[in-house]
Amino acid sequence: MHWSVVLMAMAIGGARAQLTAQSSVAPDLRECYTNATLLNRNNLPPTTVAVLIDIIRKIEDSPNVNVDLRQLAVSLLHTYRQDGIEFHQPDTSLPSSANVLPYAPTFHSFHRHRLLLARLIPNNLPVFANDTIPAVLKCAFHNMLSTTVDARVRSDEAACNQLSQYRAQRVPRALRASRARVDGDVEILDKSALESANRNGHMRQYNPNDDVEYAQVYGAKSERQVLGESTCPVLGGVVHSAWGALSAGAVIAGVAAGAESQQVPISELSRSALTEYSNMLVTSIYPATLSGDLAEAALIQGTERGSSVISIGAGGGWNSSQARRHFLLQTRLNLEMTDPEVRGDIDGFVLGSMLPRTLSTYGSLKLSQLLDMYYTAKNGVFDANIRACNRKLTAASTSSEELQRQTLAFAAALDSNMPLRGTITGGLESLVANAVTNYRTHVDNMADVNCVTTELTAATTRSKTNLYIVLDSAWQYETIYPAISYILDTIEVGKFGSSATLLSAFDGSVIINKTFSLADFHSHYTLSRHQSLLLGVNLLNTFTNVRTLMANELEEEKRLNYVGGNSSVLLFLLNSGNLQNNDQVLEQARKLNETVPDLRVLFATSTNQMDVLWNLVRDMHNDVQTIQLQSNGMNVETSLARVMDRINQAGRRIVNPACGSQWTETGLSGSRHFVDYIEPGYVNYYSVSPNYFFQNNDNRKVRIVRTGGGAGTFVICQSRSVARPRMNGTDSADQSAVKCELMQGAGASGSYEVSLRGACDGHWTVGACPNFYISVELPAQSNPTTTATCTEAGCRFPYNSRYQVEIEEFGCYSGASTAGATLMLLLTSLALLLMR
Ligand SMILES: *[C@@H]1O[C@H](CO)[C@@H](O)[C@H](O)[C@H]1NC(C)=O
Ligand SMILES: *[C@@H]1O[C@H](CO)[C@@H](O)[C@H](O)[C@H]1NC(C)=O
Ligand SMILES: *[C@@H]1O[C@H](CO)[C@@H](O)[C@H](O)[C@H]1NC(C)=O
Ligand SMILES: *[C@@H]1O[C@H](CO)[C@@H](O)[C@H](O)[C@H]1NC(C)=O
Ligand SMILES: *[C@@H]1O[C@H](CO)[C@@H](O)[C@H](O)[C@H]1NC(C)=O
Ligand SMILES: *[C@@H]1O[C@H](CO)[C@@H](O)[C@H](O)[C@H]1NC(C)=O
Ligand SMILES: *[C@@H]1O[C@H](CO)[C@@H](O)[C@H](O)[C@H]1NC(C)=O
């Protein structure tokens, strides 16, 4: 009895494992197609590598998920990826039925997907539970992994030819044209035979030995057949990266296949494969990546279109410069291996092939880390060559012969698993050879950003900022949303980076709670949420409420014994004119300034408001900026450049948690520390406010102590006037105001001390005494580390170096109390002087 229950449960588990490989929409994914909110991609987080990694981290961190990298990749595919789902217009003559979902996996990409999941990357564990991540993230993730083409006519096709203005990375027309020359060079099949097969609908009849059910495929008409096709169809399964848009499903599949490579005979993939191929073996990583798409292209273009030249690569672009969600193709022909698929295939192939070596370097590497290391500007996956910017070179180093052999083998298997409008009777070799040749030419011509440019333009610091955005709802959502999205991307909101909090400019109330998750922020800050905000800007209420919020944060930091590590910035994004600033506002701003000394206040306004706002900030010349945002989100980068620069100028805080929000002067810190990490090629900047060292204490100091392994020499700099002190710095006006020292050697021996003794001598008030600025740099290494030295939970990358920031005897001097006290002292001594 009990046993039968267990067996039953196991059987159900086994069945669940392949629901995404079945020819209807998988049950857990159905709500992505039935719920109107989830169906509209504008309500889901943008499809970017950063959001993809964020969602993977959430799954990795989920208490119910306890699997290694390989199993995670496999389970992700089986749970969230289902290629080829298309809309099918229900027959209008029939009453629409609540029992029928007008979506089914019928696009060509589904057939390869099914073979992959059922035979090449099988899963023997149950798929992830439905509630592992919220529905919004589930659907976003499904969309990022699942390749399909939505060819329905929309209404915005007129804008299709403007895609290039969004800086879509695509092959210049001249280069594309050169491919056409290949046409005619290669003669493969009897072309006329193929063409007639094509015209006459030389379709196969249902054959019980075939692996395809035909009835469904040709039974219902997909809407593209009914309404005509869009001139720029939407390609699904694409994510944005700085190195070109790519198909994320192929990347995860490459990792899953590479982690446990399988050699599968063709006869196991297809019961009716052409006999001359049935003894061939296919290595799973090939069909999971490059060979999968190449085989599709060869088969579909070769049979259905009777083409002897297999066209590889179809360009396109995002219809937005920020917060990218819709990748529009520039063509509706030859979509078997689009540009994003080419990139995803190469990345998946490179990462998967490398994986055994990578895991031998660091066995407990996470999938999120692997992707993070690959899609980042510097250092790479334990090897500077294994980076997205190097894609073209790594692709060139793979063997064409093997690719051709594997593609041929897989094409032979796919042939009998995919309904085609023609039958291959010979010449498959030449179709495949042509596909591989054209693929290589196409990759050579791809114009993605290379590693040299990447490194030249890469930031030298990683933000770790708690950013509070005060939002004026007078902005059009279409205008402000791309700007906010850009800001969050730039400061790297994420588990190891920055956080974002959205406040209302109406009264300073919290719209979106502090979050370290890009996906969460975007799933909450939608058009409807924006439209529900109260209209108007009230600086008094806002400053008053922000002060309460910040006081609570300080109390929380006191409770947590937080010594520092993040910077904090309050950024107003205002569109309204006629701002009301008065003495009461100024009083609140002054109190905020005095009791939350490390909070940098910035204003970005659509019209010049300097005359009104200048007295609410520290540095009126730089902290009040005018930004010109356009309603289509263009121009965000240039418009926000100075604002971003100001955000970055705010150093990571080093604080005395004993002060809390009350600033009781007895709160000496004693000896405390926090841990921080640095990657090769980056600098961390810190800033200590005089509120912690105004009155003298001879033992007061900050110490940087290297506490972990890792190669390379630290460079530590300090300054009182240069906010970002750096050895050989270029942005520092006066290099003589910067003092630097090298900290040799790894291990606990390295230590550097900054004494704060008498640091405010000669200054009458806290406000007059400058901050102390400190930086820790780990210069880029010519031979990047090939070992994992940073394996604890706080390490974003395994090659990070760890150190401690230690403080001794920090005090508490709020601007208010000490300015007052000093003034009293001054007056008293003056009075004494006069009395004499
Ligand atoms: C659709 O999904 C959203 C987001 O998960 C949810 O809030 C809403 O209740 C769902 N609507 C229906 C009708 O289930
Ligand atoms: C789980 O799946 C069912 C449909 O199978 C759906 O109705 C439900 O809302 C899902 N729950 C979550 C948390 O996604
Ligand atoms: C991009 O196109 C989609 C589909 O037509 C549309 O829903 C979306 O609003 C467009 N986005 C932008 C920013 O224009
Ligand atoms: C500082 O940032 C890190 C991540 O970068 C985060 O884990 C931590 O909670 C943040 N601390 C505070 C007080 O916000
Ligand atoms: C923010 O978080 C608090 C508790 O942490 C919760 O009570 C509150 O409802 C949240 N606010 C919003 C706007 O989500
Ligand atoms: C600064 O410049 C000197 C001389 O050019 C060089 O030796 C040193 O490595 C540089 N330091 C850093 C941190 O770049
Ligand atoms: C905040 O304090 C700084 C000095 O710490 C001072 O220069 C600035 O004027 C103050 N700003 C406000 C709004 O009080």
- For the chain, the structural domain boundaries read 2-453, 465-650, 670-819
| Short-list 103, 117, 36, CA closest to 73 | 117
Q: What residues have CB less than 8 Å from 277, skipping those under 6 apart?
A: 266, 408, 409, 412, 413
Least-confidence region, from 339-343, 385-389, 744-748, 797-801: 744-748
When pLDDT is averaged across residues 721-735 and rounded to a whole number, the result is 78
Taking alpha carbons only, the member of 777, 794, 803 closest to residue 702 is 803
Atom 4, ligand 6: residue with shortest CA distance: 728
Backbone φ/ψ region at 762: left (φ over 0), alpha (ψ -120 to 50), beta:
left
| C-beta 43 within 6 A of ligand 3 | no
Q: What is the pLDDT of residue 781?
A: 81
* CATH fold match for the domains 465-650 and 670-819: no
Ligand 4 site, residue 497, Cβ cutoff 6 A: yes
pLDDT at 11: 32
- Give the pLDDT of residue 88: 84
Distance 254 CA to ligand 2 centre (A): 29
Instruction: Determine if ligand 7 sits within 6 Å of the CB of residue 616.
Output: yes
pLDDT-wise least confident of 174-178, 238-242, 305-309: 174-178
Inform me whether the pLDDT recorded for 206 exceeds 50. Answer: no
Of 600, 811, 775, 597, nearest to 695 by C-alpha is 811
Neighbours of 517 (CB within 10 A): 20
CA–CA distance, 316 with 332 (Å, rounded to integer): 11
Atom of ligand 7 nearest to the CA of 593: 1
Assess whether pLDDT exceeds 80 at residue 593: yes
User: How far is the centre of ligand 5, averaged over its atoms, from the C-alpha of 513 (Å)?
Assistant: 6
User: How remote is the CA of residue 618 from the centroid of ligand 7, in Å?
Assistant: 5
221: how many CB neighbours lie within 10 A of its CB?
A: 13
Query: Ligand 5 centroid to 782 CA: how many Å?
Result: 47
Closest CA to 709 of 678, 747, 765: 747
Q: 206 in the Ramachandran plot: left (φ > 0), alpha (ψ -120 to 50) or beta?
A: beta
Q: From CA 110, how far away is CA 505, in angstroms rounded?
A: 48
What mean pLDDT comes out for the span 486-500?
96
What global pTM score does this model have?
A: 0.89
User: What pLDDT is stored for residue 787 in this prediction?
Assistant: 79
Dihedral sign, Cα of residue 406, residue 410, residue 67, residue 76:
positive
56 alpha-carbon distance from chain centroid = 10
Distance (angstroms) between ligand 6 centre and the Cα of 727 equals: 7
Asked if 817 contacts 765 with a C-beta cutoff of 8 angstroms, the reply is no
Helix, strand counts (H, E) of the chain: 30, 25
DSSP code of 96?
A: P
d(CA 246, CA 338): 9
Identify the DSSP state of 343: H
Q: Which ligand is nearest to the CA of 565?
A: 4
Q: Quick check: CB of 510 below 6 Å from ligand 5?
A: yes
Q: Are 105 and 87 in contact (CB under 8 A)?
A: no
Q: pLDDT value at position 104?
A: 87
Q: Measured from the CB, is residue 715 less than 6 Å from ligand 6?
A: yes
> pLDDT confidence of 477, banded at 50, 70, 90?
very high
pLDDT at position 70: 94
Contacts of 180 (CB under 8 A, 6+ apart): none
Least confident window among 241-250, 439-448, 672-681, 729-738: 729-738
Give me the amino acid identity at 63. Answer: P
Q: Which atom of ligand 3 is found nearest the CA of 478?
A: 13
Which atom of ligand 1 approaches the CA of 43 most closely? 4
As a whole number of angstroms, the distance between CA 640 and CA 546 comes to 23
Distances from the Cα of 79 to the Cαs of 51, 403, 511, 683, in angstroms? Answer: 18, 29, 32, 40
What would the mean pLDDT of 482-511 be, rounded to a whole number?
A: 96
Distance CA 635, CA 483 (A): 9
- Residue 296 carries which DSSP code? H
Tell me which ligand sits closest to the C-alpha of residue 558. 4
Q: Is 160 helix (H, G, I), strand (E, B) or coil?
A: helix
Confidence of residue 749 (pLDDT cuts 50, 70, 90): low
What span, in angstroms and rounded, lies between the C-alpha atoms of 281 and 262? 10
Per-residue confidence (pLDDT) for residue 746, from 0 to 100: 55
Q: Which of 11-15, 45-49, 105-109, 728-732 has the weakest average pLDDT?
A: 11-15
Which two tokens mark 124?
Answer: 């023997």
Task: Kindly report the number of other CB atoms within 10 A of residue 397's CB atom.
Answer: 8
Atom of ligand 1 minimally distant from the CA of 38: 2
614 Cβ inside 6 Å of ligand 4: no
779 phi, psi to nearest 5 deg = -60, 150
Residue 738's identity, in one-letter code, is V
Given this model, what pLDDT does residue 91 score?
66
Residue 719 has phi, psi (to 5 degrees) of -160, 160
Task: Please give the average per-residue pLDDT across 667-687, as a whole number.
Answer: 93
Share of the chain above pLDDT 90, in %: 64
CA pseudo-torsion sign 560, 561, 565, 570: positive
Confidence of residue 532 (pLDDT cuts 50, 70, 90): very high
Give Rg (Cα) of the chain: 30
Rounded mean pLDDT, 102-123:
90
Residue nearest to atom 2 of ligand 5 (CA): 513
**Region of poorest pLDDT, from 97-111, 224-238, 559-573, 679-693:** 224-238
CA distances from 575 to 151, 480, 537, 623, 681 (A): 38, 9, 9, 16, 38
CA distances from 336 to 225, 315, 333, 345, 435 (A): 18, 12, 9, 12, 11
Predicted confidence (pLDDT) at residue 219 exceeds the cutoff of 50: no
Sheet holding 510-515, edge to edge: 510-515, 499-504, 465-471, 567-574, 599-605, 624-626
- The pLDDT assigned to 92 comes to 64
Q: Specify the residue with its C-alpha closest to ligand 6, atom 12.
A: 727
Whose C-alpha lies nearest to ligand 2, atom 2? 28
Whether residue 500 has pLDDT greater than 80: yes
- How far, in Å, CA of 216 to CA of 104, rounded? 9
Ligand 1 binding pocket mutation candidate from 29, 33, 35 (most atoms within 8 A of CB)? 35
Instruction: Say yes or no: domain 465-650 is CATH 3.30.365.10.
Output: no
DSSP secondary structure string for all residues of 807-825: EES-----HHHHHHHHHHH
Q: Which residue has the higher pLDDT, 222 or 667?
A: 667
Q: Which residue(s) pair with 286 in the sheet?
A: none
Mean pLDDT of 617-626: 93
Q: What angle do CA 192, 195, 196 make, to 5 degrees?
A: 85
728 Cα–ligand 6 center, Å:
6
Q: Which residues line ligand 1 (CB under 6 A)?
A: 35, 37-38, 135-136
| Confidence band for 472, pLDDT divided at 50, 70 and 90 | very high
Q: What is the pLDDT of residues 409-430, one digit of tens each?
A: 999 999 888 888 777 777 889 9
Place of tokens 């409008």: 421
CATH topology of domain 670-819: Jelly Rolls (2.60.120)
**Closest ligand 4 atom to the C-alpha of 464?**
5
Ligand 3 atom with the smallest distance to the CA of 41 is 7
Work out the end-to-end distance of the chain between its first and last CA atoms, rounded to an integer number of angstroms: 104
Q: Which is more confident, 95 or 578?
A: 578
Question: Which has more confidence, 197 or 553?
Answer: 553
Tell me the average pLDDT across 297-320: 88
Pocket lining: 326 vs ligand 3, CB cutoff 6 Å = yes
Q: How far apart are CA 620 and CA 7, in angstroms?
A: 72
Residue nearest (by alpha carbon) to ligand 1 atom 1: 35
The DSSP line for 98-149 is: TT--SEEE-STHHHHHHHIIIIIS---SPPPPTTSS-HHHHHHHHHHH--EE
Band (159; pLDDT cuts 50, 70, 90): confident
User: Two tokens at 377?
Assistant: 């500007």
DSSP 23: S
Which atom of ligand 2 is nearest to 27's Cα? 5
Does 770 sit in the ligand 7 pocket, CB within 6 Å? no
Q: Residue 47: CB within 6 Å of ligand 3?
A: no
Residue nearest to atom 11 of ligand 5 (CA): 513
- Pairing mode, strands 671-678 and 751-755: unpaired
Q: What is the pLDDT of residue 8?
A: 33
- Quote the CA–CA distance of 702 and 567 in Å, as a whole number: 17
d(C-alpha 493, C-alpha 686), whole Å: 19
- Residue of 585, 588, 593 best suited for mutating to test ligand 7, as the one with most atoms within 8 Å of CB: 593
Work out the burial of residue 764: count CB atoms within 10 Å of its CB; fewer than 13 is exposed, 13-18 middle, 19 or more buried.
Answer: middle
Q: Where are the alpha helices (DSSP H) in 446-476?
A: 451-457
Q: What's the 371 CA to ligand 2 centre distance in angstroms?
A: 29
Average pLDDT, the chain: 85
Distance from the alpha carbon of residue 833 to the mean position of ligand 2, in angstroms: 80
Evaluate whether 78 touches 18 at the Cβ level (below 8 Å).
yes
Structural tokens at position 333? 């022909």
Nearest Cα residue to atom 4 of ligand 5: 513
CA atoms of 736 and 730, how far apart (whole Å): 12
CA-nearest of 666, 662, 704 to 557 is: 662
| Residue 644: CA count within 13 A, CB half-sphere | 20
- Report percent pLDDT > 70 for the chain: 85
DSSP track, 596-640: STTEEEEEEESS--HHHHGGGSS-HHHHEEE----TTSTTHHHHH
Please give the Cα distance from 525 to 431 (Å, whole number): 48
